[in-house]
């Protein structure tokens, strides 16, 4: 039996940790930092995360299963927003520790709304104040920390920079102490609960967000039609779904330039994750009003 197969100690800790907060406070960036590898897509655009995603960190004395959730908001105007809310509420109801995230020097009504919802849970709450790298004068943080501490009962308040890896070890140690005594759930080398198809679709969607920015149509979905593994290369066929011809033109771009840029950027990330040479082909197809179609929502993974 080698070191990686040893029986964990009797006081081993393992549990689920939900990262929650209003949109765009850096939950996905923190998840990637905690796991030590990019598994969750990120962008400056709010509501980039569409699914609760597990990121698994395994140490000799604990295993923390981080759950990256969509940013909580009150708009439920369509099926996607209702899906985002369901994903987050479901994650919160099943975890052992809650990490409430806010942004340094920025407290909004959305933060208070998230805390109000968390007040109905029994799990301990750790407050993470992210993006402290944007605060040159750290003395300004103290009044903000005091303001946040008055908003709820926290086990700890920890200022961090997910981008610069600042204070992350302190956060990890704090979370580990709050996990219940239990054996690990996942193998030591597993980083997520999702498969290759999920990551391929998500990385393509991330590049769409980053390349198009505000021009990106709100209602898009990505599905993986085929993954074919060959000795020297892996081939992936993907479809980007939109609701109309004008949206398709935006994503394809002039002479296919946008779609080509998205494919090249996604391919590089996927090669780094999978550790193989990769050939990625993408198409854009129209499915009218798919967000109001239960069958399409299920097909695209939203049900």
Q: CA–CA separation, 165 vs 125, rounded Å?
A: 21
Selected residue with higher pLDDT from 46 and 286? 286
Count of residues making up the chain: 303
Given a contact cutoff of 8 angstroms between Cβ atoms, the answer to whether 233 and 277 are in contact is: yes
Nearest in space to 64 (alpha carbons), one of 90, 88, 99, 40: 99
Please determine, for residue 170, whether its predicted confidence score (pLDDT) is greater than 50. Answer: yes
Q: Which of 79-83, 123-127, 192-196 has maximum average pLDDT? A: 123-127
Beta bridge mates, 166: 161
- 261-268 long-range CB contacts below 8 Å, 24 or more apart? 261/207, 261/211, 262/204, 262/207, 262/208, 262/211, 263/204, 263/207, 265/207, 265/210, 265/211, 266/200, 266/203, 266/204, 266/206, 266/207
Domains of the chain (ranges, CATH numbers): 3-178 (3.40.50.300), 196-299 (3.30.300.20)
Selected residue with higher pLDDT from 288 and 297? 288
Please determine, for residue 171, whether its predicted confidence score (pLDDT) is greater than 60. Answer: yes
The answer to whether the Cα torsion of 200, 206, 210, 211 is positive or negative is: positive
pLDDT band at 81 (very low <50, low <70, confident <90, very high): low
Q: What pLDDT was estimated at residue 1?
A: 39
The three-state secondary structure class of 135 is coil
Q: What pLDDT was estimated at residue 47?
A: 56
Which stretches of 77-178 are assigned E, i.e. beta strand?
97-103, 125-130, 156-159
Q: What pLDDT was estimated at residue 119?
A: 77
Please determine, for residue 242, whether its predicted confidence score (pLDDT) is greater than 70. Answer: yes
Given a contact cutoff of 8 angstroms between Cβ atoms, the answer to whether 291 and 243 are in contact is: yes
Q: What pLDDT was estimated at residue 122?
A: 87
Which stretches of 37-182 are assigned E, i.e. beta strand?
53-58, 62-68, 97-103, 125-130, 156-159
The pLDDT tens digits for 51-80 are 678 899 999 999 999 988 765 555 545 565
The answer to whether the Cα torsion of 78, 84, 88, 94 is positive or negative is: positive
Q: What pLDDT was estimated at residue 166?
A: 97
Q: CA–CA separation, 122 vs 195, rounded Å?
A: 31
The three-state secondary structure class of 228 is strand
DSSP state of 150: T
Please determine, for residue 191, whether its predicted confidence score (pLDDT) is greater than 70. Answer: yes
Q: CA–CA separation, 136 vs 222, rounded Å?
A: 40
Q: What pLDDT was estimated at residue 76?
A: 47
């Amino acid at each position: 039996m080698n070191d990686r197969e040893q029986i964990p100690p009797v006081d081993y800790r393992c549990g689920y940790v939900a990262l929650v907060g209003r949109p765009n406070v850096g939950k996905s960036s923190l998840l990637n930092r905690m796991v030590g590898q990019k598994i969750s897509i990120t962008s400056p655009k709010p509501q980039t995360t569409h699914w609760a995603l597990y990121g698994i960190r395994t140490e000799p004395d604990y295993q923390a299963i981080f759950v990256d959730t969509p940013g909580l908001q009150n708009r439920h105007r369509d099926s996607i927003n209702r899906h985002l809310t369901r994903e987050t509420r479901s994650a919160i109801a099943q975890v052992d520790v809650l990490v409430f995230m806010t942004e340094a020097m920025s407290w909004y009504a959305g933060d208070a709304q998230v805390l109000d919802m968390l007040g109905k849970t029994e799990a301990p709450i750790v407050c993470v104040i992210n993006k402290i790298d944007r605060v040159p004068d750290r003395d300004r943080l103290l009044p903000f920390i005091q303001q946040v501490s008055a908003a709820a009962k926290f086990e700890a308040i920890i200022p961090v920079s997910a981008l610069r890896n600042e204070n992350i070890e302190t956060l990890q140690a704090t979370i580990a102490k709050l996990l219940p005594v239990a054996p690990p759930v996942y193998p030591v080398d597993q980083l997520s609960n999702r498969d290759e198809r999920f990551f391929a679709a998500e990385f393509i969607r991330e590049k769409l967000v980053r390349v198009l920015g505000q021009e990106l149509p709100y209602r898009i979905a990505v599905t993986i039609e085929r993954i074919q593994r060959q000795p020297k290369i892996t081939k992936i066929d993907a479809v980007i779904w939109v609701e109309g011809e004008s949206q398709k033109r935006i994503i394809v771009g002039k002479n296919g330039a946008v779609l080509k840029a998205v494919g090249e950027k996604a391919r590089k990330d996927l090669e780094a994750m999978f550790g193989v040479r990769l050939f990625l082909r993408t198409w854009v197809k129209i499915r009218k009003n798919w967000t109001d179609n239960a069958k399409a929502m299920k097909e695209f993974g939203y049900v």
